[in-house]
Structure 1
Amino acid sequence: MARFDRYLLSQLMMLFGFFALVLVAIYWINSAVRLFDQLIADGQSAWVFLEFTALTLPNVIRITLPLAGFAAAVYATNRLMADSEFVVMQATGFSPWRLARPALIFGLITAAMMGAMTHFLVPMSQEQIVLRNRDIAANVTARLLTEGTFLHPAGGITVYIREISEDGTLNDLFLSDRRRADRPQTYTAAQAYIVNANDDPEGAPQPKIVMVDGLAQDLNTETGRLFTTHFQSFSYDVGSLVDTSDFRVVSVRNLPTWMLLLQTQKVSNLTGEGIGWVVQEGHGRITQSLLCIVAALIGFSALQVGGYSRFGVWKQIGFAVLLLVAVKFVEGLVTDPVRKDPDMWPVLYFPAVLGLAISAGLLWWASRSRRPRDRAFPPDAPSDRPPGMPSGAEASGRAAATGVPA
């Protein structure tokens, strides 16, 4: 690579790292706040929270990569134009096509990063998130071991524990089961314990709450009668409080790209998704990498259009943003047709082709030959000259003779 290419590429990569760090931090903090409310409220430890925030990082990076590449291309190009560095390079004979070579290489680098995210890191992290969600949902004990708070481990279930002793004893337990609207049940106990009972020798142990010295209340809403039962010990199955059937380990987001593209029917049967959804997910991962190239080239080429202005290139920057929004809008339009008809998968690449065509058109417009300014009264059009006014040649001759500029 030429020295200027290395210089411009280094500027692009440095700014790309800065914008990527800022955007990832913003998105990551927002997702971390939601995870904190969800996990800590359910009684999970801080280690589980850190694990989930780390697993969401690849997907956050995947979202911010095109935006960071576009911002880096726009900022670097604007700064080099403001410092007249592009003017110097154009004076040495560099065309806009030649100047765009480092931007293209920068786009290929970001596309390679996006490919690593979409094809490897994001599916692996999503699969691990699903597995951990299933483990947490099945771990009812962690949800219940929170004192002084009304907990809702499942719909219609309310649990309150006044105090948890160091040996694990639950003091003053309140449990309300309203999953059946016609027969709500309420249990109170002075003490309770969570144990793992294995009713099925071949199955996994199921957690149960053993209540001691308590009261069970059963209300029949049809008759309005309340039945109360005092008990010395009573066991309540808490393994059924959480339904883990919705946590499907196998999902199109968790599978590798080659499997989505080469074993489409098998993936559809395995995940329960339509063939169109599988095809769109597979080819969509490829188009996301191509859009990184498009974002970098649009950010660079849009600023090449237009002449010098002391007000800067804000119009070109706004124009570049509109072009990128238009490409993303087209990307959203081509998604639904492919999900309905898998044979239309080639249209998924139309946004990338459109973005590359726009970039090429902008570079062509920037490199077109500049027409010289039209003279007010050209010498070869005497009929358009007012009477008595000398032609261009005559004015030049008089200026040479008298020494006064024409």
Structure 2
Amino acid sequence: MSRFDRYVLSQYLLLFSFFALILVAVFWVNRAVVLFDRLIGDGQTALVFFEFTALALPNLIRMVLPVAVFASAVWVTNRLQGESELTVLRATGTSPWQMARPALVFGLITGLMMSVLTHFLLPSSINQLALREQEVSRNVTAKLLTEGNFLHPAKGVTFYIRQINTDGTLNDVFLSDRRDPNNSVTYTGARAFIVRDGERTHLIMVDGMAQRLDLEKRQLSTTKFSDFSYDISSLTDKSSVSNRSIRAIPSWELFQNRDLIPQSDGYTPGALAEEFHLRFARPLICVAVALIGFSALMLGSYSRFGVWRQALLAFLLLILVEGLRSVVSEPVMKNPDLWPLIYLPALTGLAIAMGFLQLAARPPMLQRRGIATAAKQETRS
């Protein structure tokens, strides 16, 4: 690469870092607000909140990476046009194909980033996030240790603690269990303690009373106790563990064990084929949008009004390429043999970029033809 190519490539990477940081921050804040309300509201610590948001970052980066590539390509090319650097290169005989080399290398670098993200980082982060979500959902203690509020850890269950001492003692505990439609039980205790026994969690209530209401017979029975153990492990969601997210399945497993995954995780062959080939198509999308952002701004001659029309054209083409991705997924989901369609958006973007570069290289020829035609007309007149 020439010195100018390295200079332009450095500008691409610098602006790409800026746009990626801004876009990831915007999406991260939006997701962090929801996570903060859910996790902190359930009694989780700030460390759990930051862990969840960090595990969600690879998926956020995957979504904003093509947009950041496109924005940086358009921005840098527009600045080079405005500062007449590309005009000087054209005057020296440099073709648009040669000037597109930094954009191509930039697209390949970001495509490599996307490959590492989709094949390694994203499946690992989604797997870890699913494990942590299961652990948090089983953490009964964090859900119940909130004083002064009526909590509903499960449907038909109400729990209340007036005060929690520094040593972990729970004062004035109220527990109402209405999950049995025929019997309603209410427990009250002056003090209580939470004790873990392996995977089980027990609430030990001291100096309390149990009131059982038989709704069929309309009878209320009351029992006083000095100590009573109540298994609160049942308050967690005991539903069966959901299947792995298809994005959490490693690429090597999608390639080697594609016939076994539908039996274990329940995904159709079309969904597996779509996900596997999409992980290879996303890097090509980065290359395509980088070249589209550059080549679209190379169309037309210098204008004092700028290149807003070319930039608008490039943006519309970006929407077209992204729209094609959603269109081609449906046929592949139904018929896995149509997997080559997954690469159609990227190949379409590359074809459009090459067409634009070819058009950008022809204006001098067209101008010479126009001058020659005008000269012939003057001669005839």
**With structure 1 as the length reference, what TM-score do the two structures score?**
0.86
- SS of 2:224 mapped into structure 1: strand
Q: Which structure has greater helix proportion?
A: 2
Question: Which one is further off, 211-220 or 329-338?
Answer: 211-220
Kept after mapping to 2: 8 A contact 1:126/1:254: yes
Structure 1 unmatched ranges of 5 or more? 198-203, 382-390, 392-406
Corresponding residue of 2:163: 163
Tell me, yes or no, if structure 1 residue 253 matches structure 2 residue 247.
Answer: yes
Question: Which of 336, 352, 365 does residue 346 from structure 2 map onto?
Answer: 352
Corresponding residue of 1:370: 366
Question: Which of 221, 227, 234 does residue 220 from structure 2 map onto?
Answer: 227
Counterparts of 1:181-330 in structure 2 under 5 Å? 183-197=183-197, 204-219=198-213, 225=218, 227-232=220-225, 233-248=227-242, 250-330=244-324
How far apart, in 2, do the equivalents of 1:246 and 1:296 lie? 45
- SS of 1:21 mapped into structure 2: helix
Shift of 1:320: 0.9
Kept after mapping to 1: 8 A contact 2:243/2:266: no
How far apart, in 2, do the equivalents of 1:179 and 1:305 lie? 70
Kept after mapping to 2: 8 A contact 1:153/1:242: yes
Corresponding residue of 2:40: 40
Q: What CA deviation, in whole Å up to 9, does each residue of 1:83-122 have, x standing for no partner?
A: 1111001111111111111101000000000111111111
Shift of 1:181: 5.1
Shift of 1:306: 1.9
How far apart, in 1, do the equivalents of 2:45 and 2:38 lie? 11
Q: What CA deviation, in whole Å up to 9, does each residue of 1:293-337 have, x standing for no partner?
A: 111111111111122221211111111111111111110111122
Identity %: 52
Kept after mapping to 1: 8 A contact 2:332/2:338: yes
Mark the CA change 1:213 to 1:31 in structure 2 (over 3 Å): closer, same or farther. same
Corresponding residue of 1:107: 107
Tell me, yes or no, if structure 1 residue 334 matches structure 2 residue 333.
Answer: no
Mark the CA change 1:178 to 1:343 in structure 2 (over 3 Å): closer, same or farther. farther
Mark the CA change 1:313 to 1:210 in structure 2 (over 3 Å): closer, same or farther. same
Shift of 1:222: 6.0
**With structure 2 as the length reference, what TM-score do the two structures score?**
0.92
Q: What CA deviation, in whole Å up to 9, does each residue of 1:138-165 have, x standing for no partner?
A: 1211211121223332333332211111
**How large is the Cα RMSD of the aligned pairs?**
2.2
Q: What CA deviation, in whole Å up to 9, does each residue of 1:46-101 have, x standing for no partner?
A: 11112222212222222221111111000000000011111001111111111111
Kept after mapping to 2: 8 A contact 1:134/1:244: no
Corresponding residue of 1:379: 378
How far apart, in 1, do the equivalents of 2:240 and 2:306 lie? 54
Kept after mapping to 2: 8 A contact 1:131/1:249: no
Corresponding residue of 1:143: 143
Shift of 1:23: 1.1
How far apart, in 2, do the equivalents of 1:14 and 1:67 lie? 15
Kept after mapping to 1: 8 A contact 2:193/2:205: yes
Residue identity matched to 2:121: L
Mark the CA change 1:303 to 1:196 in structure 2 (over 3 Å): closer, same or farther. same
How far apart, in 2, do the equivalents of 1:313 and 1:143 lie? 57
How far apart, in 2, do the equivalents of 1:305 and 1:186 lie? 77
Corresponding residue of 1:7: 7
Residue identity matched to 2:60: V
How far apart, in 1, do the equivalents of 2:69 and 2:288 lie? 10
How far apart, in 2, do the equivalents of 1:90 and 1:132 lie? 56
How far apart, in 2, do the equivalents of 1:49 and 1:196 lie? 24
Kept after mapping to 2: 8 A contact 1:250/1:270: no
Shift of 1:27: 1.4
How far apart, in 2, do the equivalents of 1:179 and 1:359 lie? 63
How far apart, in 2, do the equivalents of 1:56 and 1:205 lie? 28
Residue identity matched to 1:278: L
How far apart, in 2, do the equivalents of 1:263 and 1:257 lie? 10
How far apart, in 1, do the equivalents of 2:43 and 2:17 lie? 36
Corresponding residue of 1:394: none
Number of residues of Structure 1 aligned to a counterpart in Structure 2: 375
Q: What CA deviation, in whole Å up to 9, does each residue of 1:15-70 have, x standing for no partner?
A: 11111111111112222222211111111111111222221222222222111111
Larger Rg: 1
Residue identity matched to 2:139: N
Corresponding residue of 1:56: 56
Kept after mapping to 2: 8 A contact 1:215/1:228: no
Counterparts of 1:73-152 in structure 2 under 5 Å? 73-152=73-152
